[in-house]
């Protein structure tokens, strides 16, 4: 597939993911982690304008000079004001129509740019921009889920119901043993090939020594997590990191995000999904999601296990086929495990790792403003691996490192055990 086709595919997928949302839906920012969908649409466009068109397309005329700072997320090196993230919901101007016109303006310029011959640096930036937009597609879906959950009417993003995969028998939790030893992790980037892509934080590839370990054959299910809740684990300090217990008390957490008590379901709970409410009893064999690192870690302690390290995870995932319940299935919710071997490594839920987000040995951020993309967030965050049911299949790989603060749980984040 050439760059032009890839560009059109990614940009039109954004348009189709947000097609059912009204201008009002696209204005809401319902939690500090999230951004309005309108902002996602503008910011991803800003990325191409700022990093590709302004520096590389001759005679490019920017759509609006104010957009240069207005839709900057966090790149201080660009200069100028960066609006506080919490103010994104106040952007009633520009209107959604103006943002869509901005997208059209940039798309037309990008067509002109891609029809010419690009040098290596601009070709790399186009691929980075497409991967950036795929990240924001995922964010737009997780953010709109939170928006609809926060609305008293509790609307659904998708009208259609799930097909009933929950009836399939889920494999019981089994351990896959690895003898460990010296392994290589990180993306083997061919630097001379501008079309070979990974994020800078996946490099350099390097050796890690692993003790023998065991990793679970699938993600932890809602049924298993409910047992943890029914054992009063949320109130038992022995399972919790100090910051975790504080977070649980402060937020009065008694269950994952999007779980709500419901006497009409035999479990006593219902779960909000992108297709509206579902009784927990219909989801018991599906992976638990929307848990924080603290909850994942406490669950593992309660089970007498631990979370995997990212090196352990990658050593297993790098030999597994890259398939799973990703965005492309259209389910938009985790599904029951049904594969043999170590299943659900890709898709369903991002899996919290026991590893803090730090640079690999010899890590160098990209030069210039793009060096702010990943590297400056390497403090106070934990690694997640494997993508989720709202991650595009063409976006994820075994070496991919996602990262969030340990208390965050608005992403599709779940649990895999290790021992
Ligand atoms: Fe961004």
CA 300 to ligand 1 centroid distance, Å: 32
Rounded to the nearest 10 degrees, how much is the dihedral formed by the CA atoms of 30, 134, 377, 68? -80
CA distance 18 to 375: 30
Residue 182, pLDDT above cutoff 60: yes
Q: Tell me the pLDDT band of 2, cut-offs 50, 70 and 90.
A: confident
CA 133 to ligand 1 centroid distance, Å: 8
CA 42 to ligand 1 centroid distance, Å: 10
CA distance 82 to 79: 8
CA 136 to ligand 1 centroid distance, Å: 7
| pLDDT at residue 169, as a whole number | 79
Q: Mean of the pLDDT values across residues 69-78?
A: 94
Helix (H, G, I), strand (E, B) or coil at 347: strand
CA 161 to ligand 1 centroid distance, Å: 32
Beta-carbon count within 10 A of 165 CB: 16
CA distance 149 to 329: 23
* 108-133 residue pLDDT tens: 999 999 999 889 999 999 999 999 99
CA 417 to ligand 1 centroid distance, Å: 31
Q: Are strands 181-185 and 206-210 parallel, antiparallel or unpaired?
A: antiparallel
Q: Mean of the pLDDT values across residues 295-320?
A: 98
CA distance 191 to 21: 40
Q: Tell me the pLDDT band of 197, cut-offs 50, 70 and 90.
A: very high
CA 126 to ligand 1 centroid distance, Å: 14
CA 13 to ligand 1 centroid distance, Å: 17
Lowest mean pLDDT across 75-84, 142-151, 210-219: 75-84
Residue 10, pLDDT above cutoff 60: yes
CA distance 185 to 188: 9
Residues with Cβ within 8 Å of residue 127, at least 6 apart in sequence: 3, 194, 195, 197
- Of the chain, the percentage scoring pLDDT greater than 70 comes to 98
| pLDDT at residue 3, as a whole number | 79
Q: Mean of the pLDDT values across residues 50-73?
A: 97
CA 131 to ligand 1 centroid distance, Å: 10
Residue 165, pLDDT above cutoff 60: no
CA 402 to ligand 1 centroid distance, Å: 14
According to the 3-state scheme, what is the secondary structure of the chain? CCHHHHHHHHHHHHHHHCCCCCCCHHHCCCCCCCCCHHHHHHHHHHHHHHHHHHHHCCCCCCCCCCHHHHCCCCCHHHCCCCCCHHHHHHCCCCCHHHHHHHHHHHHHHHHHHHHCCCCHHHHHHHHHHHHHHHHHHHHHHHHHHHHHHHCCCCCCCCCCCCCCHHHCCCCCCCEEEECCEEEEECCCCCCCCCCCCCCHHHCCCEEEEECCEEEECCCCEHHHHHHHHHCCHHHCHHHCCHHHHHHHHHHCCCCCCCEEECCCCCCCEEEEECCEEEEHHHCCCCECCCCCHHHHHHHHHHCCCECCCHHHHHHHHCCCCCCEECHHHCCCCCCCCCCCCCCCCEECCEEEEEEECCCCCCCCCCCHHHHHCCHHHCCCCEEEECCCCCCCCCCCCCCCCEEECCCCCCCCEECCCEC
CA 201 to ligand 1 centroid distance, Å: 15
CA 139 to ligand 1 centroid distance, Å: 10
CA 279 to ligand 1 centroid distance, Å: 35
| pLDDT at residue 260, as a whole number | 98
| pLDDT at residue 59, as a whole number | 96
CA 129 to ligand 1 centroid distance, Å: 9
CA 286 to ligand 1 centroid distance, Å: 30
| pLDDT at residue 231, as a whole number | 98
| pLDDT at residue 134, as a whole number | 98
Instruction: Please state, rounded to an integer, the average pLDDT across all residues of the chain.
Output: 96
CA 377 to ligand 1 centroid distance, Å: 13
| pLDDT at residue 17, as a whole number | 98
| pLDDT at residue 166, as a whole number | 52
Task: Tell me if the bond preceding 34 is cis, omega within 30° of 0.
Answer: no
Q: DSSP assignment, residue 52?
A: I
| pLDDT at residue 117, as a whole number | 86
Q: Tell me the pLDDT band of 1, cut-offs 50, 70 and 90.
A: low
CA 408 to ligand 1 centroid distance, Å: 18
CA 167 to ligand 1 centroid distance, Å: 39
CA 40 to ligand 1 centroid distance, Å: 8
| pLDDT at residue 159, as a whole number | 86
CA 120 to ligand 1 centroid distance, Å: 22
């Amino acid at each position: 597939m050439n760059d032009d086709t890839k560009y059109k595919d990614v940009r039109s997928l954004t348009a189709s993911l947000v097609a059912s949302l009204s201008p009002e839906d696209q204005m809401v920012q319902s939690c500090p982690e999230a951004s309005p969908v309108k902002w996602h649409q503008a910011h991803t466009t800003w990325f191409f304008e700022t990093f590709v068109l302004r520096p590389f397309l001759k005679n490019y005329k920017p759509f609006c000079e104010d957009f240069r700072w207005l839709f900057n997320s966090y790149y201080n090196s660009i200069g100028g004001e960066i609006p506080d993230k919490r103010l994104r919901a106040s952007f009633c101007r520009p209107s959604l129509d103006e943002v869509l016109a901005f997208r059209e303006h940039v798309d037309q310029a990008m067509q002109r740019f891609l029809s010419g011959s690009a040098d290596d640096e601009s070709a790399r930036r186009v691929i980075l921009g497409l991967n950036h937009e795929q990240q924001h597609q995922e964010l737009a879906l997780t953010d709109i889920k939170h928006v609809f959950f926060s609305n008293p009417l509790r609307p659904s993003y998708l009208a259609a119901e799930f097909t009933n995969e929950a009836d399939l028998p889920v494999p019981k939790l089994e351990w896959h043993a690895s003898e460990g030893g010296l392994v290589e992790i990180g993306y083997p980037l061919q630097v001379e090939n501008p079309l070979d892509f990974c994020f800078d934080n996946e490099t350099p590839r390097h050796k890690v020594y692993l003790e023998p370990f065991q990793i679970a054959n699938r993600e932890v299910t809602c049924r298993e997590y409910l047992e943890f809740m029914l054992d009063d684990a949320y109130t038992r300090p022995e399972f919790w990191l100090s910051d975790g217990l504080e977070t649980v008390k402060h937020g009065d957490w008694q269950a994952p995000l999007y779980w709500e008590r419901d006497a009409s379901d035999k479990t006593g709970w219902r779960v909000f999904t992108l297709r509206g409410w579902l009784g927990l009893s219909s989801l018991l064999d599906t992976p638990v999601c929307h848990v924080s690192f603290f909850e994942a870690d406490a669950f593992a302690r309660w089970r007498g296990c631990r979370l995997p390290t990212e090196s352990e995870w990658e050593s297993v995932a790098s030999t597994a086929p890259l398939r799973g319940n990703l965005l492309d299935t259209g389910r938009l919710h985790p599904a029951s495990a049904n594969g043999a071997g170590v299943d659900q490594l890709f898709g369903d839920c991002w899996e919290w790792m026991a590893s803090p987000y730090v640079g690999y040995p010899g890590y160098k951020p990209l030069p210039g403003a793009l060096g702010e993309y990943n590297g400056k967030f390497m403090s106070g965050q934990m690694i997640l691996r494997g993508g989720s049911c709202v991650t595009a299949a063409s976006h994820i790989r075994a070496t991919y490192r996602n990262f969030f603060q340990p208390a965050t749980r608005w992403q599709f984040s779940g649990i895999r055990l290790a021992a």
